[in-house]
Structure 1
Amino acid sequence: MVELGEWDKALSVAPGVSMKYWRKLMQRRADQLIQEENDDVIPYCIAVGDVKKLVSFFTARGQLKEALLVAQAACEGNIQISPLSTTGGSSNSGGNNTDDYNELLHKVSKELAEWYFQDGHAVLAACCHLAVENIELAMANLIRGNELELAISVGTVLGESAAQATHYALELLARKCMTVTTCFPSLGYRDLAADLLMMIPDNKLQLAKLCAFYPGCTEEINDLHEKCNLPDVEECMRLAETIQADGDIFETIKYYLLSTEPEKALPIGIQYVKKQLCGSDWTLDSICPYLDLLSYIRTERLVLHKCNEFRNELLILCGYIGALLAIRRQYNSIVPALYEYTSQLLKRREVSVPLKIEQLSEELDAWRACTQPTDESPCTPPSELQRMVYSILVSRIQEEPLKGMIGPDCVTGSNLPSHSDVHISCLTGLRIQGPVFFLEDGKSAISLNDALMWAKVNPFSPLGTGVRLNPF
């Protein structure tokens, strides 16, 4: 009957031989229907309790919601294998248990969440992760989707299990309040930024950055210092000079930035970073805190003519370290742009930094060869030199502390068409799809996704003006 294609008749009499034979025949029929991509396979898989096969069938067809439904039903015990059907040690009897079902549910939830996220639905992606209590990825999806207010709300409810991600979201939202042209002239936004940062338990450094960047008059700055429990600007100047004599570079930079002459922090910090880069054992984590702190110098001081050399060096160093951070976070779309940005600054401006254009080119080529296979040469292995260069990069980059943040950002509407309002990205030269972010010249544009990723690894604008980028 099977050879004649009379499967239903064969299956109806198969139990007369044995349940084991019936089950084997059901599996053969299911395999045939899967090859034909026939929906009739569903009752066959459910009848024998072959959850994995059914989930694989739905997943292969992109029917992730249906796959999730099956996995959830199995976890709840609504799809069971008859005891008779497993007599004699069926091949699947050991594989379909509660632990396997839970693992399957987590896997399908993650795939569905990734599909939602790449489609520009960060909130739905987070819901998928929360449904299986994957708090780390849920918070990460909200932050990578720039749903900062929602991330903070969810993180506050979840408490300690989401604390690290919540604190990061608070920092980013505070940066949103620090947009000089639209927000910072308002005392309300200034105080809101301070209030957000005060929600972070260990907030002294974040509050110092806020105060350092605030562009108000001396009276307003001192008022903010008082709110943040920091000394006034004159006292900060005295503290900076005292601490500098003691040799604490980081604290010296911090207090100079908070003082009446913040530009004095630039040569101290930049010289320290350059000295580190001249060594062979530096890592991102040993350099990033210094550059990040220096980047909060008030813009009107940074763009002064007397700061030209230090500004150029700071932009170059931030661009290079930003490229390495982008590699660490797998922001692949902006890695070449960051290297190109750094190379152009090195080429056009007179600076003295321990970086060479040839070195940047070697590193970019090594990264591409080791991680980004191209359509032209998908099988060409990287050279020995490229492997060595990339190995050195990896040793310096180390692991991302917020593992859920690895991967590109994708905001709501990222896949929407641009219609007649066409903009070309100044980073990639490609047409921008989805939300557009305009740079400070009012003409140059990049995608909002690229702007968010750029700002997270390099605080300064791609135009090289010294203006901070704030797309949050």
Structure 2
Amino acid sequence: MVELGEWDKALSVAPGVSIKYWKKLMQRRADQLMQEENHDVIPYCIATGDVRKLVNFFTARGQLNEALLVAQGACEGNIHVPQTACNLCCSRLLQCVCRELAEWYFQDGRAVLAACCHLAVDNTELAMASLIRGNELELAVCVGLVLGESANQATHYVLELLARKYMTAPTCFPSVGSRDLAADLLQMIPDNQVLLAKLCAFYPGSSSEIDQIHQKCGLPSLEECGALAESAVSEGDVFNAVKYYLMSPEPEAALLVGITHVKEQLSDSDWTVDSVYPILDLLGYIRTDRLVLAKFTEARSELLILSGYIGALLAIRRQYSSIVPALYEYTSQLMKRREVSVPLQIEQLSVELDAWMACTQQFEVQSLTLKHTGVYLSRGPDEHARLLDRLQEEPLRGLEGPDYVTGSNLPSHSDVQVSCFTGLRIQGPVFFLEDGKSAISLNDALMWAKVNPFSPLGTGVRLNPF
């Protein structure tokens, strides 16, 4: 009967031989229907308890909701599975399906639904990451506070991003309300002294107003910060010297100390991103009104170049692939247009970019924190291996990958904007730079701001797309 294609008749009499034979025949029929991509395979897989085969069938066809229902039914005991298929296997299957469905929602610009998928299987780390990468910051804080300790690291990062949002808001800063709100957000983070110092350093008010915010944050006054900076310099404590200089009456002094230290680090052969980024991150909070002064042109140019280069490496580490070429080009153009003394060469930047592009294009590398595999790239394997050694691991787990805000896949309306990064039409929300004309996608703006605080136009103005 099987050879004649009379499967229904064969299956109806197979139990007369044995249940084992019937199951074997059912599995053969299921395999045949699956090869034909026939939906009639569903009852056969359920009858034999072959959950994984059915989940794979739905997943391959993009029917992730159906795959989720099957996996969930198996975990809850609504689908009888063989005793050899343990509960742990079903649980892992459910985790995998939820992750795939969440990724589909996320790339469709629906970060909240992606987070819901992760929360449904208690994956708090990826749930928080989805909200952060979708720029749902206020919601992420609320969720993180409810989740508690398991989401502490992500919650603290979101609070920092929200504080940046209000700290650099051009329409209301330096209003007392936004200043105090930024301070209150940062004070929700346990280890917050450096974060509060950044807020105080960036605040552009009068001396009395600055002292007031210093007092609110529990930090020394302007004059005391100047003395503490001098003391830190004498002790060789570069980080605290930069921190206190930024909060002193002469914040520009931090540029000389900080940039000199970063250039010395980059001159060593064994430097890493994590060895130079903390100082550059601090320097990024120097008051904009001081940084853009003509007498600080050279220091400003060096700061922008160094921030752009380290930002490019951070973008590689976080897998922000769409802005990596733009960051390298930004850095190269600044070096061509301005006379600076930095331990970087335009040719070296080109070599690094070529090595990274060869790796991502040829082998579709999903995580650049993986160890070098020995692949011979267009510029040689050694360059790529050296690049990976400098990147090290991303401390904020789960945040690797591009940002997708709500509406990222929606079609553009009649007011077409072209990205100054790619020259292509922007799909989804648009972010205008400080000249009011240049535009990039909001996704690219968010990723850029997370690795390099300064505008792509090279003006020294901080970017605030949050």
TM (norm. structure 2) is: 0.96
Contact 1:273 1:287 in 2 (8 A): yes
Range 2-11 or range 435-444, more displaced: 2-11
Q: d(CA) in 1 for partners of 2:40 and 2:392?
A: 50
> In structure 1, what is the equivalent of residue 239 of structure 2?
250
Aligned: 1:226 with 2:205: no
Instruction: Report the 3-state secondary structure (helix = DSSP H, G, I; strand = E; otherwise coil) of the residue aligned with 1:437.
Output: strand
> In structure 2, what is the equivalent of residue 39 of structure 1?
39
Aligned: 1:395 with 2:395: no
**1:100-137 CA-partner distances (Å, limit 9, x unpaired):** 10110000010000000000011110111111111111
The 5-angstrom pairing of residues 66-465 of structure 1 reads 66-81=66-81, 94=84, 96-373=85-362, 382-383=376-377, 385-465=379-459
Q: d(CA) in 2 for partners of 1:167 and 1:180?
A: 20
Q: d(CA) in 2 for partners of 1:286 and 1:242?
A: 23
The offset of 1:385, in angstroms, is 4.4
**1:312-336 CA-partner distances (Å, limit 9, x unpaired):** 0000000000000000000000000
**1:240-299 CA-partner distances (Å, limit 9, x unpaired):** 112211111110111110011100100110000000000011111111000000010000
Q: d(CA) in 2 for partners of 1:372 and 1:318?
A: 26
Contact 2:58 2:64 in 1 (8 A): yes
Contact 2:186 2:196 in 1 (8 A): yes
Alignment-mate amino acid for residue 121 of structure 1: R
Q: d(CA) in 1 for partners of 2:378 and 2:180?
A: 54
Alignment-mate amino acid for residue 388 of structure 1: D
- 5+ residue gaps, structure 2, are 365-374
Contact 1:11 1:26 in 2 (8 A): yes
**1:164-188 CA-partner distances (Å, limit 9, x unpaired):** 0000000000000022421313210
Contact 2:358 2:378 in 1 (8 A): no
> In structure 2, what is the equivalent of residue 90 of structure 1?
none
Q: d(CA) in 1 for partners of 2:61 and 2:294?
A: 61
Q: d(CA) in 2 for partners of 1:360 and 1:325?
A: 14
The offset of 1:302, in angstroms, is 0.2
Range 2-11 or range 118-127, more displaced: 2-11
Q: d(CA) in 2 for partners of 1:346 and 1:49?
A: 64
Instruction: Report the 3-state secondary structure (helix = DSSP H, G, I; strand = E; otherwise coil) of the residue aligned with 1:403.
Output: coil
Contact 2:417 2:439 in 1 (8 A): yes
Alignment size in residue pairs = 456
Alignment-mate amino acid for residue 416 of structure 2: V
Q: d(CA) in 2 for partners of 1:229 and 1:114?
A: 42
> In structure 1, what is the equivalent of residue 65 of structure 2?
65
TM (norm. structure 1) is: 0.95
Q: d(CA) in 2 for partners of 1:355 and 1:27?
A: 63
**1:208-256 CA-partner distances (Å, limit 9, x unpaired):** 0000001111111111001001111111112111221111111011111
> In structure 1, what is the equivalent of residue 12 of structure 2?
12
Q: d(CA) in 2 for partners of 1:37 and 1:254?
A: 63
Deviation beyond 4 Å, 4+ runs, structure 1: none
Q: d(CA) in 1 for partners of 2:168 and 2:331?
A: 24
Alignment-mate amino acid for residue 403 of structure 2: D
> In structure 1, what is the equivalent of residue 461 of structure 2?
467
> In structure 1, what is the equivalent of residue 369 of structure 2?
none
The offset of 1:79, in angstroms, is 0.9
Contact 2:402 2:447 in 1 (8 A): yes
> In structure 2, what is the equivalent of residue 89 of structure 1?
none
Aligned: 1:51 with 2:51: yes
Q: d(CA) in 2 for partners of 1:275 and 1:348?
A: 23
- 5+ residue gaps, structure 1, are 87-92, 376-380
Cα RMSD, aligned residues only: 1.2
Contact 1:365 1:386 in 2 (8 A): no
Q: d(CA) in 1 for partners of 2:417 and 2:78?
A: 52
**1:136-158 CA-partner distances (Å, limit 9, x unpaired):** 11100100000111111011011
Alignment-mate amino acid for residue 106 of structure 2: F
Instruction: Report the 3-state secondary structure (helix = DSSP H, G, I; strand = E; otherwise coil) of the residue aligned with 1:440.
Output: coil
Q: d(CA) in 1 for partners of 2:194 and 2:200?
A: 10
Contact 1:213 1:296 in 2 (8 A): yes
Give aligned-pair identity as a percent: 74
The offset of 1:419, in angstroms, is 2.3
Q: d(CA) in 2 for partners of 1:185 and 1:241?
A: 28
Alignment-mate amino acid for residue 64 of structure 1: L
The offset of 1:386, in angstroms, is 2.6
Alignment-mate amino acid for residue 270 of structure 2: D
Q: d(CA) in 1 for partners of 2:426 and 2:376?
A: 31
Instruction: Report the 3-state secondary structure (helix = DSSP H, G, I; strand = E; otherwise coil) of the residue aligned with 1:404.
Output: coil
